[in-house]
Amino acid sequence: MSLAEVKKLLFPFRPVRVHTSDGKSYRIAHPEFFLLFQHKLTIAVPSKTPGVMANDFRISLLHITAIEELGQKAEK
């Protein structure tokens, strides 16, 4: 996906699931859980400890195949 396409789907923020070319998907439930760069999207995965992230995934925008809106309640 292009930067413009990703920006259009992520802003204004709604909970989404990002699908990638390797068949994986990543949930973004809150706007503080991602960073959009010119050529990549970094997704943070929260831990059980408030304010601490457990992991992060860096995805090239070229490998994003779809971004689906999850609606009002983000699925788990």
Q: Return the closest-CA partner of residue 29 out of 7, 8, 50, 10.
A: 10
Q: Return the closest-CA partner of residue 19 out of 8, 11, 27.
A: 27
Contact yes or no for 25/19 (Cβ under 8 A):
yes
Q: Which residue ranges form the domains of the chain, and what is each CATH number?
A: 3-69 (2.30.30)
Residues near 34 by Cβ (< 8 Å), separated by ≥ 6?
A: 10, 28, 41, 42, 43, 44
pLDDT tens track, the chain, 76 positions: 999 999 999 999 999 999 999 999 999 999 999 999 999 999 999 999 998 999 999 999 999 999 999 976 545 5
